[in-house]
Amino acid sequence: MAPDQARAFWIAAPGRGEIRSETLAAPSPADVVVRACYSGISRGTEALVFQGRVPPSEHTRMRAPFQDGEFPAPVKYGYASVGQVERGPRELTGRHVFALYPHQTRYVVPAGAVHVLPDNVPPARAVLAANLETAINGLWDGRPHVGDRVVVVGAGTVGCLVAWLAGRVHGCDVELVDVNPQRAPIARALGVRFASPDAAPREADVVIHASGSPDGLAVALRAAGFEATIIEMSWYGDRNVPVALGAEFHARRLTVKSSQVGHVATTQRARWDTRRRMQFALASLADPALDVLISGESNFDALPSVMAELAASPGNTLCHRIKY
């Protein structure tokens, strides 16, 4: 491949992806040229984007930092790329970095848009950084305290990462709830307990919902204790979701609060910005226990078929890694 050429995954039309060749812009002295090693599929959001299910009202807010094209299609979308700097400032050249970039073999971005991986974080694991950043923000919104009973509904990648983080708060009793019993050994590997929706505990101090399912939200509401807050981390795209606000909802004085990674959580915003948050997420990926969240790997050229399969039927997929 010529030095100024790259190949990228595009959603050509809702439900159909393709690999396209691109000519890279000439880098400025303030830019870096990155050769991708891995990228991660953020399955929940990327499946909705792939299916063309971003509502018109969210077309601007849902733009990825280096997105090309417009929703619903054609669009180049993604935000979990790990690569090696080929050209750039001396202190970055040759370093492995994380960038919020779509699935593409090589790319040019401002040097300030990349984050150098800590020496103890392997590039193959670093594809979890964007999901972990989302989980950190969600837990900040949930604000668990020492000794709290925490219920996380939905054992997808983000839900698992939220449970893992909560389990590291001293004395917290953390239960990860999911309809898929195959997630039980993953919960154990992350150091937390597991339950089916029918066996989900009640009277939790903090409840975080990340299943992407209305049924999961109903479980989260049942699990919450008196005056507890349910943190809603699921994004449903263009789907209307029923919320059970009758029965005992008011008597138990429950609160449903949204959480979204686009803004640093209110409690941290005076001292944290998104760069500090991402650097903290990357440093937290030193734990090899998190490798259990990489549920599969495919070569870059297979991305059109892989994305179609994951969007149609996720199966046991957590984070699916793309290798370049």
How would you classify the pairing of strands 114-116 and 96-99? antiparallel
Task: Kindly state whether residue 183 falls inside one of the protein's structural domains.
Answer: yes
Claim to verify: residue 160 and residue 115 sit in the same structural domain: no
User: In this predicted structure, what is the pLDDT of residue 315?
Assistant: 80
Claim to verify: residue 298 and residue 229 sit in the same structural domain: no
Classify 70 as helix, strand or coil. Answer: coil
User: In this predicted structure, what is the pLDDT of residue 246?
Assistant: 87
Smallest CA-to-CA distance from 126 within 93, 100, 160 is with: 100
Task: Give the pLDDT mean for 181-192.
Answer: 98
Claim to verify: residue 158 and residue 116 sit in the same structural domain: no
312 within 8 A of 15, measured Cβ to Cβ = no
More confident position, 238 or 92: 92
User: In this predicted structure, what is the pLDDT of residue 1?
Assistant: 59
Task: Kindly state whether residue 271 falls inside one of the protein's structural domains.
Answer: no
Q: What is the CATH number of the domain that holds 61?
A: 3.90.180.10
In this model, does residue 127 exceed pLDDT 70? yes
User: In this predicted structure, what is the pLDDT of residue 228?
Assistant: 96
Task: Kindly state whether residue 265 falls inside one of the protein's structural domains.
Answer: no
User: In this predicted structure, what is the pLDDT of residue 2?
Assistant: 63
Which pLDDT band holds residue 296 (cuts at 50, 70, 90)?
A: very high
Claim to verify: residue 97 and residue 176 sit in the same structural domain: no
Average predicted confidence (pLDDT) for the chain:
96
96 within 8 A of 82, measured Cβ to Cβ = yes
Claim to verify: residue 19 and residue 105 sit in the same structural domain: yes
Claim to verify: residue 189 and residue 302 sit in the same structural domain: no
Domain that holds residue 25: 5-125+285-323
Task: Give the pLDDT mean for 65-88.
Answer: 97
Claim to verify: residue 63 and residue 159 sit in the same structural domain: no
Task: Kindly state whether residue 268 falls inside one of the protein's structural domains.
Answer: no
Claim to verify: residue 200 and residue 306 sit in the same structural domain: no
Task: Kindly state whether residue 27 falls inside one of the protein's structural domains.
Answer: yes
Claim to verify: residue 234 and residue 308 sit in the same structural domain: no
How many percent of the chain have pLDDT more than 90? 92
Count structural domains, the chain. Answer: 2
User: In this predicted structure, what is the pLDDT of residue 237?
Assistant: 82
Which pLDDT band holds residue 8 (cuts at 50, 70, 90)?
A: very high
Query: What contacts 78, CB < 8 A, 6 or more positions away?
Result: 9, 39, 41, 42, 46, 64, 101, 102, 103
Task: Give the pLDDT mean for 226-241.
Answer: 92
- Residue-wise pLDDT for 243-265, tens only, equals 989 888 999 999 999 999 999 99
Task: Kindly state whether residue 196 falls inside one of the protein's structural domains.
Answer: yes
Q: What is the CATH number of the domain that holds 196?
A: 3.40.50.720
Work out whether the CA dihedral 80, 86, 87, 93 comes out positive or negative.
positive
Integer Cα distance of 261 and 84 in angstroms: 26
